[in-house]
Amino acid sequence: MAASPQQHGVQSIEVGMQVLTAIERGRGPMPLSRIAVESGLAPSKAHRYLVSLQRTGLVSQEVGTGLYNLGPAARRLGVEALRRVDEVATASPYAAALRDRTGHTVYLAVWTDTGPSLVRQDHGYHPLPLLIRVGSILPITDSSIGHAFMAFLPEPVTRPILLAQQERKETSLRSADELARALDEVRGTRLASVHGSVVAGLNVVSTPVFGPGGTVELVIGVAMPARVDDEQDLARIHAELLATSRAISAELGHTEPA
């Protein structure tokens, strides 16, 4: 449970976190002057905090340049924090909240060695022509979830699955140019949409969720009856989906590039 603003804390720890956050956002070694600006502190005060953070190992200073960077203790904490993250458990409350805000069914999917697999389904308030069961492997070229994974995962990861599904006739054959154009569009908007290609009368829009370093951890999608075609409604759903993806990504440790 997060601490409420009314609870008493240790202010110096909170200020120290401002300094660490400034270094983290710098994406590399930083001079004192820039750390002071980014953390909103006077240079003399920022320097005092940097000295203490060096003593704990959370910050290190390069001998030749004098630049500051995250230290070995920060790296150990980061690795351990990542080890403890359960991506699906982290995303699940956000998926349920997205269902409540939109009224539509929300899916979570992960990448497996046989393709995109549904791991969670929050049923919406609108009846769908068919519900896709949790555990199902989705056709990679016919599903919006498959498109979201293909657009943002490395091709050496997705191509063997694509070829295997096509060989088993589990997904459609599409020309390389057609598929490339579709994936470029997904990369530009971060939204992948399909209309009735997996289940007739069912439209799904999906977007990736990123972890540290920009890796795709999972995909979240909203399923709607085909009759939901009002442009304003769709724009609102798309905005809610993207905002949810960004919130989950931030909690998983992803930092959006400036």
- For residues 188 and 208, give the distance between their C-alpha atoms in angstroms, rounded to a whole number: 12
The helix/strand/coil state of 8 is: coil
Higher pLDDT, 165 or 81: 165
204 lies in some domain: yes
Instruction: State how beta strands 115-122 and 192-195 pair.
Output: unpaired
Place of tokens 């068919």: 130
Q: What is the CATH number of the domain that holds 184?
A: 3.30.450.40
* Structural domain that includes position 41: 11-83
Q: Which amino acid is at 154?
A: P
1 lies in some domain: no
The overall pTM is greater than 0.85: no
77 lies in some domain: yes
B/e letters for 182-217, b = 16+ CB within 10 Å, e = fewer, are bbeebeeebbbbbeebbbeebbbbbbbbbbeeeebb
Per residue in 123-158, pLDDT tens?
A: 888 777 566 778 788 899 989 999 999 999 999 999
Of 26, 48, 83, the residue that ends a domain is 83
Per residue in 59-71, pLDDT tens?
A: 999 988 999 999 9
According to the model, what pLDDT value does residue 231 have?
Answer: 83
Q: Is there a contact between 126 and 225 (Cβ–Cβ < 8 Å)?
A: yes
Task: Mark whether 73 and 102 lie in a shared domain.
Answer: no
Secondary structure (DSSP) of 95-152? HHHHHHHH-SEEEEEEEETTEEEEEEEE--SS--S-PPPTTPBPPTTTSHHHHHHHHH
Task: Mark whether 96 and 202 lie in a shared domain.
Answer: yes
Q: What is the CA radius of gyration of the chain?
A: 22
Burial (0-12, 13-18, 19+ Cβ within 10 Å), 174: middle
Task: Mark whether 143 and 202 lie in a shared domain.
Answer: yes
Task: Mark whether 58 and 153 lie in a shared domain.
Answer: no
- For residues 116 and 150, give the distance between their C-alpha atoms in angstroms, rounded to a whole number: 10
Task: Mark whether 95 and 206 lie in a shared domain.
Answer: yes
